[in-house]
Every structure is written in C-alpha cells, then in structure tokens.
Structure 1
Amino acid sequence: MTAGRPLDVLGTVLRLGLAAVWLVSGAVKLSEPFTTAVAVAAYRVLPDALVVPVATLLPPLEIALGLLLLAGLATRLAAVVGTVLLLAFVAGLVQAWARGLAIDCGCFGGGGPVDPDDTGYGLALLRDLAFLTAAVYLVVRPRTLFSLDGRGDRAAAHDHDRRAPADATEEH
C-alpha cells in the first residue's frame, strides 16, 4: 500500500459522507419548501425579499453538491462551495445563539421558532464544524478513490508505470 493510500481512503469516506449529508439535507428541504422558508426567515439576517429566493435555491444547491461529491466530480470545487455554505450556516447558528433566538436550525428540515430549551445550538454547531472540517480536508486534498476526478490520474499513472522500466534503461 502506498503512503497516500490511507489518505485516499479517508478522503473517500469524507467525500461520500458529505455527499450523503448534502443529498439528505437538500431533499428534505426541497420536499418542504414552506418550512424551509420559515427556517431561513427565523434567523432574521436576510431582508424579507431574499428569504424565498434563498429558501428556493438552497435545496437544489445542496443536492448538486451531494451529486458532485457522490460522483467525485469537481470534488475540490464542490468542497469549496460546501465550505462557504457551511461557514454561512455556522455564522447563522452563532448569531442566532448570541442573539438569544429560540429557533430550530432547519438543517435537515423543520426550522423556525421553538421552545428556548429545544434549540440544540451546541450540538448543531459541533455537527456543522465536523462537516466543515471534512469539506476543508477535501479542498486541501480532493484526491479520493472511486471518483470521476481521478479517472485521468489513473490513466496517466498507468501510462507512467508502463513507461518507467523503458525510461529507466534509457537514462543509463
């Protein structure tokens, strides 16, 4: 096993895990458009005119990120966009918590006002920070197994492996 192989496996697990997160989150939000709009509005950071457009665009964006990561296509780009989105989610949670808003994050459906004892900000932040860590890892090291991104790399490596003995003898 090469030195990079364990990192490829780790990256693959993180890529597929984030794909599942984005696909589930986006699908649930897409199936509940009104609830998604309520969740977006509950953070009280966007002007009213932007709540519905954000709530409408967020689910397809999350699904697109999930599909790209699932396929391992444009992994770094998907991880960068995911990182930016997760930073926005973390900032939204932190500001809601700091302002004393009693809302459900709406991360996986639901959202909106809740009993102050039911906010769950701490766990939601830890979860989102774990997702953020995975996304940043994929920004830094997008190479993973079973990805469409890697098809060209494997072909080039295969060509290099076939040429290596001939190249080595030509140098002597």
Structure 2
Amino acid sequence: MLRLVLGGVLLVAGGLKVIDPQTSVQAVRAYQLLPDGLARIVGWGLPFAEIALGLLLIVGLFTRVAAIAAGVLMVVFIVAVTSAAARGLSIDCGCFGGGGQVAPGQTAYAAEILRDVGLLLSAVWLAWRPESRYAIDHDDGIDDGEIEEDEQ
C-alpha cells in the first residue's frame, strides 16, 4: 500500500507541474535557494523525475532504488520548506502545481512538512522492505537453486 501511496503522490505532483513548466520554475525560484539558471533546470526537470519515480513505484519496478530516490526528494523538500519558513518567506510550496508568493499567513508550512515527513517514512520503509505483492520486481520466494533441484 505504501508503494502505491508514495508513487501516486509523486505521479500526481509531477503530472500537475508538467502541464505548466513555467509555474514550476516560478515555484522553485520562490524558495530563493538556487541561482536562476539552476532553478530553471530544476523547475523543468523535477516534474519528469517525480512522474518517473511515481510510475516505478506504482508498478513496483526497481522499488528500492525508486524509494531511495523518493526519500532523497522528500528530504530536499523538507529542508526547502523549513528554510522558507525560517527565513520568513510567504510562498506556496508548489508541491502540486502553483507556487510562488502568497499573502502573509496563507502558508501551510507545518502541514507540508508533516506530509513530507510521512512520505519520507514511507520511502524509508520501502527502501528497507521493497518486496511487495503485485509488483513487477516481486520475489515469489523461489530461487534458481530450488528450480534446478526440482527439475532433476
């Protein structure tokens, strides 16, 4: 279930951003953490990375690697939102599209951080225990040695 939830969140987040890449770039710039050129690259590339990771997790392919990458993304998101809050920026996180400046008091930093911590814990669990039923990389418990013995 965690694989589907984390994958679904990443797929939706990336899908909502990929339809308007300029807004995604604007959201990355609003954090004021990256130089303009790098913010543009991250703003354009992040939606595709989220979609790819989401799809890998949903189908259960390279689950451990995808979970580790998703966990790294969650840590980056937590650090970025915490940094924005600590510096007194009033921005929308841009997590599901949108982003940029918002009116003071209209931020939801605590909820965003809690959500991302929950997703990070899901990613950690999946990196530790990547096997799951109905995944492409599902281990059915039969190793090659057992098959060879049965055939003989």
Normalized against structure 1, the TM-score is what?
0.82
- CA deviations 1:37-71 (Å, max 9, x no partner) are 11000000000111111111101100000110011
- CA deviations 1:92-133 (Å, max 9, x no partner) are 000000000000000001100001111100101111111111
Aligned position for 2:30? 42
Normalized against structure 2, the TM-score is what?
0.93
Counterpart check, 1:124 vs 2:112: yes
Larger Rg over CA atoms: 1
Counterpart check, 1:154 vs 2:140: yes
Aligned partners of 1:158 and 1:70: how far apart in 2? Answer: 27
Task: Indicate the percent of aligned positions where both proteins have the same amino acid.
Answer: 46
Long gaps (5+) in structure 1: 1-12, 165-172
Q: Which of 83, 87, 91 pairs up with 2:79?
A: 91
SS at match of 1:117: coil
Long gaps (5+) in structure 2: none
Q: Partner letter of residue 86 of structure 1?
A: M
After the TM superposition, which residues 53-72 of structure 1 pair with which residues of structure 2 at under 5 Å, given as runs? 53-72=41-60
| RMSD of aligned residue pairs (Cα, Å) | 1.8
Q: Partner letter of residue 63 of structure 1?
A: I
Q: Partner letter of residue 145 of structure 1?
A: R
Aligned position for 1:137? 125
Aligned position for 2:89? 101
Following TM superposition, the consecutive aligned residue runs of length 4 or more in structure 1 with deviations greater than 4 angstroms are 157-161
Instruction: Tell me how many residue pairs correspond in the alignment.
Output: 150
Aligned partners of 2:35 and 2:86: how far apart in 1? Answer: 19
Q: Partner letter of residue 18 of structure 2?
A: L
Aligned partners of 1:141 and 1:53: how far apart in 2? Answer: 33
Aligned position for 1:21? 9
Aligned position for 1:30? 18
Aligned partners of 1:50 and 1:134: how far apart in 2? Answer: 29
Q: Partner letter of residue 124 of structure 1?
A: E
Q: Partner letter of residue 116 of structure 1?
A: P
Aligned position for 2:63? 75
CA-CA distance at 1:155 after TM superposition: 6.3
Aligned partners of 1:64 and 1:49: how far apart in 2? Answer: 23
Q: Partner letter of residue 103 of structure 1?
A: I
